[in-house]
Structures are given as C-alpha cells and as structure tokens.
Structure 1
C-alpha cells in the first residue's frame, strides 16, 4: 500500500514537472516567434474529376508501355482540351469536405470556414455536399458546434451526405446524424449514443501529506466534482444529473434529424459496425467514400475544399498542453 502511495505521489510530481516544462517551452517559443511566425490562412480548391482523369491516363500509359506512350500523350492532350471546352458552368456540383476529429474537435474552425466558403457559391437546387468524417467523439461543446456547422448546409437546403470509412461514434455520430444520408464502410464503427465523464481525485493523498485544499464557490453547484478538493455525495448526484441531461439533449438532437431511430434501443452507449448499423437505421448505405465520390464524378463536377490556418509555434504548443490536460482531467464527452 505504501508503494502505491509513493508511486502516486511520484506520478503527480512527474506530471506537474512535465506540464511546467511544456508551459515554459510555450513561453520561450512565443518570445522567439514574436513578429516572425504569423498566422497564415489558405483556402484551396481541387477538382477531383481532374485527379481521376489523370490517374486513368497514368495507368493506361503504364499498361501500354513506351511504344504507345507518345501516341497516348497526344491523345491525352486532345482529351484534356476537349474536356476543358465542354466544362459547363451550369453543371451540377458536389463540394467535398473532410473532417478528422480529435477529443477537442480541433478541426471545427477549418470546417466552419469551409462551409462558409461553400455557402457563398452553392446552388441548393442542383448542388450537393459530401463530408468525409472520421471521429470517435470528444468534448460536448466542441462536437455540438461541429454538428451545428453541418446543420448550416441543411438549413440552406443543400443535400448533405456524410461518408464514414472508419469511425463516426459518439460526438462523431452526432455530426453524422445531421446529414440527409449516411454512407458507411462495412466495418466502420458507428453509434455509441452516450455520454461519459471521468475525473481523478487525489484529495486523500494530499491530506496524507498534510496538504490542505480550500475551494470557495458562490452558487450551490458551481463545482460538483473536483480533482483536488473533497467530493461529496451531493456533488456526485448533481454530476450524474448533468450527464443524464446531456444524454437527453443528445437524443433530442438525433430525433430531430433521424426520427425513425429507436433510441430506447440504440441510445445505450454501444457501438456497431456498418453491417450491423444498416438494419438498425443508423446508416443508409454501405460503401466507401472512394466509391461514392467516383460514382458522383460521372454526373457532377467534384470540388474538394480545404481551409488551413497555420498557427504560430507558441499557439500549437499551448494547444498541445491544453489537450494533454483535458485527457488527464477527462470531462463530459460524447
């Protein structure tokens, strides 16, 4: 038992030293980069039809070898010129976005700007949007905002498809449910309609080492559970009530966009693979995003929109520290 206590104290000291070192590194980086490392914004647009055509040309050239190479190059040039001439500005378009989610949904700022850009050009009566989503969920407020960004497309009447190749669970599924249609790979992880929270408490260890913690609040439930202070049964009960309320709001939001879901059966925090999720109504079709986009390219002009904002080194270090702290002090998450 004494070994466990000593190890716990050692671990707490190590984590404290690590966080201090990261903070000092952030301050040093901020001083070094002041006036030099500016935030840079970049919005890129890539026509996916051209990518598929180039891939086809490269493969055909490789199959025919050197003998047919020159003839193919001339043919490709003619085909490219003809394709450019036949490009119709009024042809229906699909705007393709990609979202890779972490616990903080850090990509939500990029998603926000990409959707804003799309809304300046989209024609809801003919154009569509596809979002390739990969996320296991995270902080409630962050993923709630990400879902609200996708809802901007639905609210404008844009047909929205979410494509899931690997995972759209918890907060990721909260986002996916906004779509008119969800397409998932057969073994993509889907669902996990639940809320989880955990928080370490080292109050007893501190007391054994004669460390007093004073916590003063104004408002009965300003703090429910804490890391350092003594937790009470009343605080735990209030914390559980907050989790249940968050779960209820999660279900209400899903019901708004996918009213056919049997949430009494599905909102248990379990997850399913795509093959299992299809008959449950969690997804609408089984296929990969690659197959979906290639099929759409035969009928639509596909434009992949990507927004990037290069953060100063000091900001990137600060975000890394915040993310590490949040993983240690896990808050309510979907």
Structure 2
C-alpha cells in the first residue's frame, strides 16, 4: 500500500509539473493580451541640474558646515545666470536588440524634439546596438535622418558597440564618437538556418511545401533546399550589402568602403584610423564638457511592456550576446 501511495504521489507530482510548464506561458500570454494599453509617457530629465547637484554635494562636503548654505546659494545664482540664452542639448538613448524594439520609443522621442528644437540646439544619441533585422534597423536609422534633415546637429556616442545595423544608425551622425574599446563596423549581411529534412526522413515524416511564385520560399527548415534557392538568398544578401554601403557612402563619403565593408569590426582607435568615427571620447566626457555651453535635457519616451514582451526581449538579448556582432 505504501509503494502504491508513493508511486501515485510521484505520478501526481510529475503531472502537476507538466501542467504548470504548459499553463504558465499560456497564462502569461493571456494576461498580456488582457492588459489595457497605457503606461506611455514622455519624460524630460534636466541633466544639467543633476550635474550641478553632484558638483554642489562634492564641494559642500569639503567645506566647513557654516559655509555650505552660502556656497549652495552662490552656486545656484551662478548657474541660473549661466543658463540664460544658452542652446539646448537633447540626449536620447537607444539600446538595440535583434528586432530593434526600442525604435518605437526612439521615433516618439525624435518627434518630441522636432516639435521644439532648432538649428541652434543639438541632439546627442547614446547608442548601444549590435545589429539585427534589416528593416527594423533601417527604420531606426531613418528616425535619426529626420533630425539631420531639419538642420539639427546630431552627435552619436558609442560607448560599447555599434555593429552591423548599429553602424547603419551611427553613420548618420554629423559627429560620431567612440569609446576606446567600443566595437564598431561589421558592415555586411548574414542569413542562416538549420535544415531538418534528413532527420524527418529517418523518422518517416513527410513535409510538403506549396508556393505560388518562383521565389516565394527560397530556403526552408523542413523541405529540400535547392541550389537555385541558395543562389537567390545569396543574391538578396548582396543587394542588402550594396544598399548598406550606399547608405554609408551618403553620410560618410570619405570612408573607403572597399576596405571597411568586409563584415569585420574594429575597436575605437582602429575605427578612427579608418574614418568610421570622428573622435575617441565617451558620452560621459562629452556631456561634462557640453554643460559649459548648453542646457542638457534627457528625453525619454517610455511604454510599459507586457510580460510576454519583456520575456522575449530578455531572450533576444541573451541570444545576441551569444551570437556577437
């Protein structure tokens, strides 16, 4: 009887585990669909004020206690006087993934800046992007082109990586900065997928694929791939590569594309020698220097992500970390 109860308990535990494994993702998906839209907001952060507060705190800590209040008042009067008639520097952030999901926030932030900014102002984009889907990163680059077309000076700072689709965005800048160990380049196109046809055949599984149009499906996961299909994919990749190079040539005409459009990537100083960037400097140093000449505001457009979107974004980030630029 004891063995029977033990076996039953083990069976029940396995069953509950299996049900939980299946039900949890479904519940998350249903919940994400049921959640009402919202949580969207435009946030403006006065970075100049934040820097002033940091500087005041450090100065105050090194001053006698009696003089701290007087020092704060003096610093604030000086800061208010310096603010008058200075241009503005708007700071935008873009953190890329395979599908460039941050492009939705970027386009809203760019639109907000365009509603009020003028040629006397400037935009700094802190870019971190290792590339991914062509159409999504092309749209992200087009958002930055909107700023240039309005005559607003555009600076892009790459502290970590701007590779492949990331460099497609970065090359739009009037001034392109890179940290010493930032990864830049990877100007190329890639496509790949596994094929399970022989595995299915060994297990007696047939797969049928019906299309209308000679190239509706070039390569397939489960069917037999043909040399004609492979050649078409290579042709499409060459087209993408050519468009990529043409785009770079438009915004950085001095770059030797024969030398750099090989799919390789370089670190900051190498990228500077090749003309892929304009200066070796971190975004932090650029902002600290800019606070003497401009009022600095960070512009953030945030939208609350659904649980399933957060899960997928996390998975994409881990996958991209394994793949590399």
- 1:16-35 deviation per Cα after TM superposition (whole angstroms, max 9, x unaligned): xx9x967x545413544666
The residue that corresponds to 1:215 in the other structure is 209
Contact 2:178 2:280 in 1 (8 A): yes
Match of 1:310, SS state, is coil
Distance between the aligned counterparts of 1:30 and 1:241, measured in 2?
Answer: 38
The residue that corresponds to 2:90 in the other structure is 95
Residues 314 and 37 from structure 1, CA distance in 2 versus in 1: closer, same or farther, beyond 3 angstroms? farther
Distance between the aligned counterparts of 1:53 and 1:93, measured in 2?
Answer: 16
Tell me which structure has the larger Cα radius of gyration: 2
Distance between the aligned counterparts of 1:72 and 1:35, measured in 2?
Answer: 54
Query: Which one has more relative contact order, counting CA pairs under 8 Å at least 6 apart?
Result: 1
1:39 corresponds to 2:27: no
Instruction: For structure 1, list consecutive stretches of 5 or more residues without a partner in the other structure.
Output: 1-17
Instruction: Give 1:79's match in structure 2, choosing from 69, 75, 79.
Output: 75
The residue that corresponds to 2:110 in the other structure is 115
Distance between the aligned counterparts of 2:283 and 2:312, measured in 1?
Answer: 34
1:52 Cα deviation from its structure 2 partner: 1.1
1:75 Cα deviation from its structure 2 partner: 2.1
Tell which deviates more after alignment, 30-39 or 306-315: 30-39
TM-score, L = length of structure 2? 0.86
Residues 36 and 194 from structure 1, CA distance in 2 versus in 1: closer, same or farther, beyond 3 angstroms? closer
After superposition, residues 187-266 of structure 1 pair within 5 angstroms as: 187-266=181-260
1:42 Cα deviation from its structure 2 partner: 1.6
- 1:223-264 deviation per Cα after TM superposition (whole angstroms, max 9, x unaligned): 111111111111001011100111001001111111111101
CA RMSD of aligned residues (A): 2.5
How many residues get paired?
304
Instruction: For structure 2, list consecutive stretches of 5 or more residues without a partner in the other structure.
Output: 1-17
TM-score, L = length of structure 1? 0.84
The residue that corresponds to 1:28 in the other structure is 27
Contact 1:96 1:303 in 2 (8 A): yes
Contact 1:138 1:171 in 2 (8 A): yes
1:305 corresponds to 2:299: yes
1:69 corresponds to 2:32: no
Match of 1:231, SS state, is coil
Contact 1:131 1:161 in 2 (8 A): yes
